Every structure is written in C-alpha cells, then in structure tokens.
Amino acid sequence: MAKFRKLETLTAIKESGIVPVFFNSDLETAKNVVKACWEGGIRAFEFTNRGDFAITVFRDLSLWALKECPGIILGAGTILDAPTAALYIQMGANFIVSPSLNPEVARLCNRRGIPYTPGCGSVTEICNAQELGCDLVKIFPAGSVGGPKFVKDVLGPLPWTMMLATGSVEPTAENLAEWKKSGVTAVGMGSKLFPKDALEKGDWKRITDICKSAIEYFK
C-alpha cells in the first residue's frame, strides 16, 4: 500500500522536477540505481512494468527503499490496466503511470488516494484525464506531439494543467532549460540518466552526478 499521501507525491515530483524511468530484472542493479538517484537528489522514481516478474522485483525494491532511501517515492510505470495497477499498489507503488489513458485505472487510483499520470498527446485527452481526477498528466511521446512548444500551447487555454513530459528529454543544460521555460511541471527520463556503460561497470556515482546536474539544470 502507498506510504505517501497524494499531495506529498505530487509535491516531490514538482520540487525535484526529474523523474527517472527505469527497469532492470536484477534486483541488486535496481537497488544500486535507486540509491544513486536518491543520493543525487531524486525523490520520485518510476519503475516500469516491462519485464517478466517485474512486480516481484518491485516488491523487494519497495521494501528495501523504505529503509535504505528514506523519502524516495516509488511508483510503477507502463501500467495498462486496473488489475495490474492494483497489484503494484499492493506492493507499495505510490503513483501509477501509463502510456495512455485508462478510465478504470483512474478510478482505482482515486479510490486509493494516489496520483495516476496517464499518457496524453492532445488537449482532448488531457481534458478527459482531468475530468477523471488526474492532477498530473504525462505528455507522451513528448517529442512526437510537439515538444516544449506543445506544453506552452496547452498552458494558454489550460493554465492549471500539470504536465510530466517524457520522450525527447535529455539531461543537458540546453534541453532541460527549454523544457523548464515551456512551463512543464516535471520531466521523465530513462536511458539518458543511466548510460549503458555506467550500468555495466557499476559506476553508480556517475548516475548520481547526472541526476544532480539534471536537477540543477531544471531549476
């Protein structure tokens, strides 16, 4: 069950501005990555449901993080249906992220008092998500739907909209400054935060340093 209230989770996402998106079937690798991100200032972390037995890895990771990374908020991503969302919530997910909008997942998360962030690529989808109680929507794939300009254009008629942009986001000063200027609430990043060679070599400090820099660039 979720250990953080909805407002706490949304605040953590907004304050750090960077949400790592990660999956690895190896529990120890996942632990090291979460710890590296936590040490880098990350306070909301999305573990994606993209591999066999992903939920068992998440369960053990969630229990471990409560003791070893106090204050970090773990959520589950790539959730396509309500039954899967329910399983992850029972395993400790504090927020649920989807690549698309599923009303059943929205209702489930509302009942449990946790944020549901569905993928949206149009104003209509964003409005539909908001009607279902989604405080933070995921702009996905962000680069394909217009990038920072899309965010800026949406905020014209819908200035209350909170958006998490995922896709075409890089941990560079130029890229993150452009996203920040658009008015986006936060950005999500996957492989760009976790260079393949750093994972292979176990260079966790490099991941910590990338996270620290990304947070500073997004301020």
32-84 tens-digit pLDDT = 999 999 999 999 999 999 999 999 999 999 999 999 999 999 999 999 999 99
159-177 pLDDT, tens digit per residue, is 999 999 999 999 999 999 9
| CATH class of the domain at 6-218 | alpha beta
pTM equals: 0.97
Please, what is the average pLDDT of the chain? 97
206-219 pLDDT, tens digit per residue, is 999 999 999 999 99
Can you read off the two tokens belonging to residue 47? 């573990």
Count CA atoms closer than 13 A to 127's CA, side-chain side: 7
The Cα–Cα gap between 191 and 161 comes to 27
Closest CA to 184 of 141, 143, 149: 149
Where in the chain are the domains? 6-218
Helix (H) and strand (E) counts in the chain: 10, 9
**Residue 178: how many CB atoms within 10 A of its CB?**
16
